[in-house]
Structure 1
Amino acid sequence: MTGVVLTINAGSSSIKFSVFEAAAHPQCRLIGQIEGLGASVHCKAVDGARKPLIDRVWPAGEGPDSHAAALAEIIGWLEEELPGVRVEGVGHRIVHGGRDHTKPVLIDDALVADLARLTPLAPLHQPHNLAGVAAAREHFPDAPQVACFDTAFHRTQAFVAESYALPRSYYEEGVRRYGFHGLSYEYVGRRLSEIAPLEAAGRVIIAHLGNGCSMAAVKGGRSVATTLGFSSLDGVPMGTRCGQIDPGVLFYLIDQKGMSTKEVADLLFRNSGLKGMSGLSHDLRVLETSDDPQAKDAIEHFVYRVRRETGSLAAALGGVDALVFTAGIGENAARVRARILGGLQWLGVTLDPAANDRNQTVISSADSKVKVFVIPTDEEAMIARHTIHLLGLGVPGRLIA
């Protein structure tokens, strides 16, 4: 019987999943996603060579309507697609690990309770991450479960980088900059070290630009600064989240507009960013094809904020050797990349337009002082590696922890 590791990345209305061989050098067997839970449910998956395996859409109102039901659907399909496969471990993406969780850990009841207390810090993600954990523990009671934290990568930052100018007591109780997208940064950093080891060992800015966005300054492979902070609202604007905002605006919304904290949270998390500014969509692809002036303004604001944050992170690093684009926008939006980089010539960036249009790995010109890369991220691969390493799978003579 073949041993595999299952990874689960549970979002608000979706579950991303993948299956990797339980080996020291794991190969991806398949990867997929079930989305639209509670509405029009769509399940799709491909094998390791990206050959389509399933593409099923349920009629509106039918199909799985919860994470537990969705995972049951996924498991049933996996058992048909991979007969004779034994799940030896399950790795989970957990967005918030707080100040104490700096590396992947085995999941038990005490950890679940601890992570549930962090829900106010990541309300869009933490409850659904934990719902995925609960469903997996129910379906695989004998398989060890591993939590991999998005915040862990940034725990190498100095006090000055992760603190706020508040009384020290707040910092001690956990009010600090945590940063997110750590699994993505970790994977991209490893890939950069394979592609360009000299640059990877130096001063690197990684731009994780997707529906959720953040940027990180990385020096010698370690996080020095990042744009996201205490919550997932800071930094550059995102698909539906506002990004950096003056706290005085929140007082205004509550005191002058009479909004409740719940209404403010709904505005900032779900109805701001590209969606709020454009009044049209959170999807950059939709905005790029629109003639609506508000859509154009939203894109210009996004580009401007990425440039500003790049300058800030360059200052934190004391210079830049490489800039990396990743995630949905970063990997695919050539025109947006060109507009961002067009305003960074002062930093020593020179774009190769043809390479950029082709989404090549290196999109800077040969004489650019700062090398610019496009590296696809793979959080699932990072989760699988952490899970396999922690459990000692694929290592002869090593027992499961």
Structure 2
Amino acid sequence: MNIFIINSGSSSIKYQLFKMPNTKPICTGLVERIGLENSIITHKLLKGDEEKIIRKTMDLVDHEAGLQQVAELLTDKEVGVIKDPREIEAVGHRVVHGGESFASTTMITKEVKAEIKKLFSLAPLHNPANYLGIEVAEKIFTLAKQIAVFDTAFHQTMPPVAYRYAIPQSFYSERGIRAYGFHGTSHKYVTAKTLQYLKNDKAKIITIHLGNGCSMTAVNAGVSIDTSMGFGPLNGLIMGTRSGDIDPSIIFHLVNQLGYSLDQVNNLLNKQSGMMGLTGFSDMRDILKGIAAGNEQAELAYDMYAYRIKKYIGSYAAVLNGLDAIVFTAGVGENDCAIRQMICAEMDFLGIKLDEEKNKVRSASLREINTDDSPVKILVVPTNEELEIVEQCFELIEKQPSVLS
């Protein structure tokens, strides 16, 4: 079964094609700079251990033009992997915000699209782009079933004590203002891998997704019970350009005393804060270079980043009433051994004991980096959101085989 996975951004499209039930993609790609001059398509063919890369530069006015070029690559006489776009039987879409309407992977209908559209105001940077990806895919892959996988779905198991805010009831009941959480596709994927590795489906774990965006989730027996991101993806940990937790009084001070507009505050907290605001860099590799060169501000930012994560580990261990494992994932979590060491330092009271030599080993596989006598496992689990999406789509189709008939 040919299942095509699309992750549509405001000016980009990530994609992978799987021939399920084989979970290794047969091609992957990225379309960048859509709507700008010199758009770039990077298309990778994967056959066994061989990888062939095709790069194209052209002007792509919109997402439809970009996806049309991808369809041409998929069906190209020399490098194509299918003969016709109609051979794609299902298209899986990453949709960032599902609100309270969607707690699981969902077949896309007119009604589902209308609901996704209603949620634009809750994720103005993401849902419109995700919606556009659905509209374009419907035009190009005309026989495919369109399926939505929601980033918020994994966190729909959180209890009210975790997702409600202490503001008047009407803001929740009438306006849907509550914590939703994000990165759910990644947290769900690494949770499943961790439970399988531990051979314990009742394990209490904390998953730590550290990329440009960062979030943590308290997981009890495979179920999300709390997560650091909230109503939007700004809350919680210090991120590449986002502030994370901040006293709301600062916003009022910026507007009322310093003359900032709300748009300026929004831009400040989302795009100019976090590690970028503290150091001038959002990439951890640049910050590590700064630390090596004696940059005290970079060192402070790194300390703050780790400190915030440690605070959340403590609070989530309390919520879980115990801890079996902590899990590092995503770009920084998987590759930055120094930040993992800082986070795990002086955490032995919680049973977290890092093995420094194991921590330095680089690998693309799931690995254990705790000492042999550590009561809590410390794992590095590479995330794979596209694989999680395709597996959820395939599972939905297997449960409802009539949808392809």
- Aligned residue runs from structure 1 range 7-86, under 5 A: 7-23=5-21, 26-37=23-34, 38=36, 41-44=39-42, 45-47=44-46, 49=48, 51-56=50-55, 58=57, 62-80=58-76, 81-84=80-83, 86=87
Counterpart in the other structure of 2:192: 190
Structure 1 residues 1-400: aligned runs within 5 Å: 3-23=1-21, 26-37=23-34, 38=36, 41-44=39-42, 45-47=44-46, 49=48, 51-56=50-55, 58=57, 62-80=58-76, 81-84=80-83, 86-173=87-174, 174-198=176-200, 200-279=201-280, 281-290=281-290, 291=293, 292-359=295-362, 361-392=367-398, 400=404
One-letter identity of the residue aligned with 1:68: E
Name which structure has the greater RCO, CA cutoff 8 Å, separation 6+: 1
CA offset digits 1:365-394 (Å, max 9, x no partner): 11001101001111101111121222239x
Structure 1: runs of 5+ lacking an equivalent? none
The residue matched to 2:75 in structure 1 has which SS? Answer: helix
Q: Tell me the secondary structure at the aligned position of residue 26 of structure 2.
A: strand
Q: 1:42 to 1:334 in 2, by over 3 A?
A: farther
- Which whole-Å CA distance do the structure 1 matches of 2:61 and 2:348 have between them? 49
State the Cα deviation string for residues 37-66 of structure 1 (Å, max 9, x = none).
3255433335265643225263xxx43243
Contact 1:4 1:19 in 2 (8 A): yes
Aligned counterparts of 1:35 and 1:70: Cα–Cα separation in 2: 9
Gaps of 5+ in 2: none
Instruction: Work out whether residues 28 and 48 of structure 1, in 8 Å CA contact, stay in contact via their aligned partners in 2.
Output: no
Kept after mapping to 2: 8 A contact 1:349/1:369: yes
d(CA) in 2 for partners of 1:266, 1:90: 33
Distance in 1 separating the partners of 2:48 and 2:192: 21
Identity across matched positions, percent: 38
TM-score norm. by structure 1 comes to 0.92
RMSD: 2.0
Tell me the CA shift for residue 167 of structure 1: 1.8
Q: Counterpart amino acid of 1:19?
A: L
Provide the C-alpha distance between the structure 2 equivalents of 1:253 and 1:284, rounded to a whole number of angstroms: 28
Classify 1:9/1:315 alpha carbon distance in 2 versus 1 (closer, same or farther; 3 Å).
same
